[in-house]
Amino acid sequence: MKKELKKKKKVILTGDRPTGPLHLGHYIGSLQNRVNLQNDYDQYLIIADMQALTDNADNPEKVSKNVFEVALDYLAVGIDPKKTTIFIQSLVPEISELTMYYLNLVSVGRLERNPTVKDEIKQKGFGKIVPAGFLMYPVSQAADITVFGADLVPVGEDQLPVLEQTNEIVRRFNNTYKTKAIKEVKALVSDFPRLPGTDGKAKMGKSLGNAIYLSDSEKEVEKKIMGMYTDPNHLRVEDPGKVEGNPVFSYLDAFGKDKKIIKELKDHYKKGGLGDVKVKRYLNEVLQEFLGPIRKEREKLAKDRGYIDKVLIKGTERAKQKAQEVLRDVRKAMKINYFD
């Protein structure tokens, strides 16, 4: 009975490219959501090392090192390996196999027109030398998603083209092979505000040097907060300051629990007479309180590599099992189930 109920849970696929440890932006944008979703969904959490390699082929240490950092982050914030299947992409070769089948159903031209990929190619400065693996990563992502029969993928608005590409492939596959072996996926569009960087830039990013990491020490956090960008026109304490676009207040909104105090601080700041340092000190209190338990848990887990390995091995086995089920249907639909 219990098993049956469990079976009915919708499947969610979500994850990260292990190119750096996770930061507060990840927490706000996805991690806290995942901690909630795992109670109601059958959640697969992919550590996408193969995808990370598509633009880090010459620096695989960066990728492999961060597989464990990311796993630590997941566990430290409350992802429960009993509820969420945490796994390593490259250890599920069924994903690669499915990618190969999908690649026959997508034209090179279609991949070259993918708006997200086009932008990223520009950003990453590949120039004319685009690695083939990078161009086709949306196909690989379609395999990541569909190989677990995912119903939902939590995404930001900017990632919708990825899901469009996935569903295009799903329809093409099911039409070509007259099957329903592969499932279309729905976007679970998140409306979480994006956390700005400590430099006030719109996005907190691993590569932008403007991130506060879940693994930062107390001192690092304090230092980063005290050096944060605020309102550049708020030169003297008595000047009125701007709260909008001031990341210190964005962070308070995101992490502060005492909404009354935050409101008072904002009013005071806007009126003038409240110095940046004072607000930052308060933010430091708030963030240390938030990050303290995560850091403590993370340090404890980091000492127990055996446990982390076990979580990843078990999760990967579970993911493989599910992937094999779907692959069986895929091969049957393609009539290449030779020995059935």
Which active-site residues does the annotation give? 124, 203, 206
Q: Which is nearer to its own copies, 36 or 104 (CB)?
A: 104
Q: Which among 52-60, 207-215, 221-229, 293-301 is the span making contact with its own copies, rule CB under 8 A?
A: 52-60
Q: Binding segment for its own copies among 190-198, 231-239, 274-282, 327-335 (CB under 8 A)?
A: 327-335
Q: By CB under 8 A, is residue 340 in contact with its own copies?
A: no
Q: Which two tokens stand for residue 153?
A: 């993928």
Q: Which is nearer to its own copies, 243 or 323 (CB)?
A: 323
Structure tokens at 326: 């779907």
- The residues pairing with 46 across neighbouring beta strands, listed in sequence order, are 15, 87
Q: How far apart are CA 54 and CA 37, in angstroms?
A: 29
Binding mask 175-204 for its own copies (x = CB under 8 A): -xx---------------------------
Candidate residues 12, 37, 63, 283; the one interacting with its own copies per rule CB under 8 A: 63
Binding span for its own copies by CB under 8 A among 62-70, 220-228, 284-292, 296-304: 62-70
User: Do residues 103 and 173 touch, judged by C-beta distance below 8 A?
Assistant: no
Which of the residues 88 through 117 are near its own copies (CB under 8 A)?
88, 90-91, 93-94, 96-97, 99-101, 103-109, 111
Q: Is 150 helix (H, G, I), strand (E, B) or coil?
A: coil
Identify the sign of the CA torsion 114, 117, 123, 129.
negative
Integer-rounded Cα Rg, in Å, for the chain is 22
Distance CA 144, CA 137 (A): 10
Q: How far is the CB of 54 from its own copies (least distance, A)?
A: 5
Looking at the Cβ atoms of 67 and 155, the one nearer to its own copies is 67
Q: State in angstroms the smallest separation of the CB of 35 from its own copies.
A: 24
226 binds its own copies per the rule CB under 8 A: no
**What are the Cα distances from residue 255, in Å, to 25, 197, 217, 306?**
11, 14, 18, 32
CA–CA dist 166, 168 (Å, integer): 5
The whole-angstrom separation of Cα 309 and Cα 12 is 23
Measured between alpha carbons, how far is 284 from 184 in angstroms, rounded to an integer? 44
In Å, how far are 12, 51, 149, 170, 177 from 180, measured between CA atoms? 19, 27, 11, 9, 9
Residues 72-91 that bind its own copies (CB under 8 A): 88, 90-91
List binders of its own copies among 206-225 (CB under 8 A). Answer: none
**Rule CB under 8 A: is residue 57 a binding residue for its own copies?**
yes
* Site residues for its own copies per CB under 8 A: 49-50, 53-55, 57-58, 60-61, 63-64, 67, 88, 90-91, 93-94, 96-97, 99-101, 103-109, 111, 128-136, 139-140, 176-177, 309, 312-313, 331, 334-336, 338-339
